[in-house]
Structure formats: structure tokens, C-alpha cells
Amino acid sequence: MNFHYRDRDSIGHAPGVERADSGREELFLSPGLRYHLTDAMDIYGLVQIAAYRRVNGIQLTSDWNLTLGVSYRFNLFSHV
């Protein structure tokens, strides 16, 4: 699960955006997979599916998000 909260913008909000149209709460369910290619390298993917959302005013939102990636771990202190 991922929860994201953002309060309404303060005085320095973006030009053309009303303060009343800022701020949100979102809860995503985030199932995913990770596969170990080697001892140091993984590939992963996850889908965030919106389970709850409360936005103020009109805002751009998504019902789901896809994340794919590769991670690599460096061994900086190898034993000789």
C-alpha cells in the first residue's frame, strides 16, 4: 500500500492554479514482482491501483500507475 497526502498550497502556489484546487489524499494498492537476475541485479515491476482518493477542486489524477525498473548493487568493500 502507498498513501499520499498533500495539504493545500500556501501563498507561493503555481500561476493559474487556485489554492482551493490544491491538496489531496490518495491510497493505492501496489502489487508487484521482483526477479533476481544475478546476485547484484534485479528487475522489478509494480502497479499502483487507486483504492481511495479525495481531491480538492479539479485536478489531474490517474486510476493506476505502472512502475518498471532495474536495480544494481555495487560492492564497494570487496574482500580480497
* Contacts of the segment 71-80: beta carbons below 8 A, 24+ positions apart: 71/41, 71/42, 71/43, 71/44, 72/40, 72/41, 72/42, 73/40, 73/41, 74/40, 75/40
Domain-located, residue 23? yes
Domain-located, residue 11? yes
pLDDT digits (tens, 9 = 90+) for 18-77: 777 778 899 999 999 999 999 999 999 999 999 999 988 888 888 999 999 999 999 888
CA nearest neighbour of 53 among 19, 22, 28, 21: 28
Cα dihedral 53, 59, 64, 69 in deg (nearest 10): -120
Confidence of residue 79 (pLDDT cuts 50, 70, 90): low
pLDDT at 2 over 90: no
Report d(CA 66, CA 60) in Å as an integer: 17
pLDDT digits (tens, 9 = 90+) for 12-30: 666 666 777 778 899 999 9
Counted domains in the chain = 1
Containing domain of residue 10, as a range? 2-72
